[in-house]
A and B are shown apart, each in its own frame.
Chain A
């Protein structure tokens, strides 16, 4: 009987079965050339899943009230049944840690293993963003170091002091990232030793910078005064860590910890569609292959497909369920589309994707996974067929225009601009205001000037006032934020919005 081939027929899972599924899925994954870190599959309860959730999936993190808020939030909506917990959380580390919830059925466990332990895992190992910005080998060590370091600071300087500092750092977390430079790899065990050296050195540099011994009279002429930093800097936390005049060495170290954590999450924010699409595509393919080989039965497949189709559902913009474009749906569709174009291209596909059509699909797919992030992935691979399938259209809201306009829809004349608009939507620059350190007045009142370079004339939200208070706390001297249009260096920028902290008392 064929029956004897099934790995399991009931929905109860056991550790033996999980290992068995892992082996079988791993075998198939190898055939599809999925290169992964070793897997560490951990079974946890739903409470533990909530814990993991609240700490952004980090297996260990320092203590902060905002994680408590997050936890309360998750717990609350879970209890009320407003939200199911994610079936899995996977951590970009080596070995790659995936959490499975004990409440899941066997089918769901297999799905999660395929999705997380082979899909996400191979993405973490293969994608260029992760390869160049994160260090899977040492992340757990670093998290441990930071947790201990911050706990030690709390003991020494008091919880509230540390908390205030973390609040401020968190407000600037998205601006603690080097976008164009590879940070040198974090070395794990030496971190604690190096920290001491760094502390002394840093303080020394800062002291040098703020030396009050007058150098020469000439410098008092402000027109000749050079800007500091000489080039605008986009990594605010880095700038603060290195240059803020009043921070204690331990405070600089905490700024650094937040910065490093932000850097670790930076690739994830930019590869959501790809990462989820890739993992979804592979759990779909791997489990279907299991079925084709007679290892799982129809019941397994039905449960799997039901869950899978829920994951990749894309409601239209006018339905009550609409909550933006579903990265799982878009990613899965695009990954499947690359295979379709490679295997059975239409004339349209040949025209749009000459480099894909008719080539080896697996190679095409791996290349797409390796060398792109969301923005460029969409610009490169979003096909006219998909635009039609999703019935995409683009809407322009221009404050110079009294009306909204549909600028493009899924038709011949719209494909190109629709694809560009879609790519832009995933451009981080587009989503987050571009804020840079423009000048620190090191010879005068030590005030700090930040510039917001406007993107498509978008102003800054009023929340900037609050954030500026945090910058002020870190910097220790007056802080000013000016919103300007992008322009040449030679032209004096015209401030369109200004934020001050502390507030200017006299309006001039």
Chain B
């Protein structure tokens, strides 16, 4: 008997496990490729999959093979002009025509790389591997609380749809046992007595009748015990519990004064995007606040943040002040995980740098989970950098700073900022 079966609805990802095993095995090479890719990528497609290539030699599974040499005879199709006894020079390089394409095609391909693509999420996994958000994650209830129903044992009240049959039957059976126990015991005794009476040589019919009546009576009583009573019925109890949602807000602070060229902004943007992707992976909900500043700071949308042109002097503290205001107004630190990232070319009004460090040290840094400052410059550092260096000494668990020179530095710097720190717990305990 023949069968035709439709298997299209069966799982199609049978090979998924094997694929993951493969990625796991070549983790090191893939990570290298990813790191290289992050450096090369343009801003818009940082969030895509990636082509990975691994030297084919590494992925080969070795087997015993014949090497070159010895006597090899091969039959080939498509003869045109050869006749028996024709002789000609052995071609160099092995893979040429006539020297045995059959052999060459088995072993001669070995030089190519093994190229394949990983998906976007795999790419991000590799990109953020071993990185960790500093400090503990605050989990808090938001205004619009989400609930999740949990089972919470059984209850005596509920709606019929939630009857717990097993528990109901168990309690009914317990009740029946409890109510009928005394009668049943008496019944057994009477029945035993009756039995003896029947076997006795002299029948005592009066006593027998009496016993039978009583047995009848007891059986009737037992029968009247309800099989299932109202209060036997148990209901599954479900309780709603509010789910704590972890949420983060990320402040992007950028200098847009005249000295910031489009190239520098580009680098800053890539850094912000990396940070954003990273936060997104760690929090269910991530807000982003863009603050740009020259002499005064302003909260803007993304488009304006990255692309509008401004000129003028630079007062960095204005941005920090604005950030502090926004935090106070909209993002209570008790509920939000706050991250700040500031990008600048290091220019600042000379007197202002001390203001900046004061704002950070006296308040802002206590509220944030982490604040990173990146300076995008190839020149010497100016006063802002030096001021910040002092802060770093005091607040090295929440504040970090790095210098970026070229686009290729972005990813390494990012990794350095968020490298998983082994001594983290100790530091947390100490503070």
Contacts and interface: CB of A to CB of B under 8 A. Distances in A.
B66 A460 contact: yes
Interface string A21-58: 01000100000000000111111110110110011000
Interface stretch (A188-196, A265-273, A414-422): A414-422
Interface in A111-125: 117
Given A41-B4, A405-B85, A71 B73 contact: no
Given A63-B18, A460-B65, A95 B70 contact: no
Interface residues of A, number: 101
A165 interface: no
Interface in B82-119: 82-90, 97-102, 105, 107, 114-117
Contacts of A462: 67
A255 to B, nearest CB: 16
A394 B74 contact: yes
Given A391-B80, A396-B73, A404-B89, A459 B18 contact: no
A466 B3 contact: no
A43 B8 contact: yes
Contacts of A424: 73
Contacts of B2: 19, 22, 26, 38-41, 117
Interface stretch (B56-64, B139-147, B282-290, B382-390): B56-64
B22 interface: yes
Interface in A408-446: 408-411, 413-414, 418, 421-422, 424-425, 431-433, 435
A18 interface: yes
B21 interface: yes
A404 B99 contact: yes
A64 B67 contact: no
Interface stretch (B9-17, B198-206, B227-235, B423-431): B9-17
B6 interface: yes
B62 A40 contact: no
B166 interface: no
A204 interface: no
Interface string A177-208: 00000000000000000000000000000000
B417 to A, nearest CB: 32
Residue of B10, B14, B60, B116 most packed against chain A (CB within 10 A): B14
A404 B90 contact: yes
Contacts of A324: 101-102, 105
Contacts of A71: 15, 18-19
B64 A435 contact: yes
Contacts of A66: 18, 22, 61
Contacts of A22: 2, 4
Interface string A48-89: 101100110000000111111111110110000000000000
A131 interface: no
B84 A15 contact: no
Given A65-B24, A73-B116, A433 B65 contact: yes
B22 A65 contact: yes
A433 to B, nearest CB: 5
Interface stretch (A209-217, A274-282, A450-458): A450-458
A157 interface: no
A467 B64 CA distance: 7
B82 A72 contact: no
Contacts of B99: 397, 404
B83 A409 contact: yes
A72 B18 CA distance: 10
A398 interface: yes
A163 interface: yes
A67 B66 contact: no
Contacts of B59: 69
B224 interface: no
Contact of B75 (A399, A422, A470): A422
Contact of B21 (A68, A421, A461): A68
The 5 lowest CB-CB distance pairs between A and B, nearest first, are A316-B78, A68-B22, A68-B18, A458-B70, A466-B62
Given A409-B84, A424-B73, 11 more contacts: A42-B5, A47-B13, A66-B22, A72-B116, A73-B116, A317-B101, A393-B75, A395-B75, A398-B72, A404-B88, A425-B75
18 contacts: A26-B2, A38-B1, A42-B7, A43-B8, A63-B17, A66-B18, A68-B17, A317-B97, A319-B78, A324-B105, A390-B77, A391-B77, A393-B76, A398-B70, A399-B69, A399-B71, A459-B67, A467-B63
Interface of A: 15, 18-19, 22, 26, 38-45, 47-48, 50-51, 54-55, 63-73, 75-76, 95, 99, 102, 117, 159, 163, 167, 170-171, 173-175, 314-319, 322-325, 390-400, 402-411, 413-414, 418, 421-422, 424-425, 431-433, 435, 452, 454-464, 466-467, 470
